[in-house]
Amino acid sequence: MSDIDFLKEEGPLLDALKMAVWKEDRVNEEIYRLQLEELYERWRTFRGENK
Whether 13 and 7 have beta carbons less than 8 Å apart is answered as yes
Residue 37 is predicted with a pLDDT of 92
pLDDT in tens, 35-44: 999 999 998 8
pLDDT in tens, 1-51: 566 666 566 678 778 878 888 888 888 888 899 999 999 999 889 888 765
Residue 15 is predicted with a pLDDT of 81
Residue boundaries of the structural domains of the chain? 11-47
Q: How far is CA 48 from CA 36, 37, 42, in A?
A: 18, 16, 10
Residue 50 is predicted with a pLDDT of 65
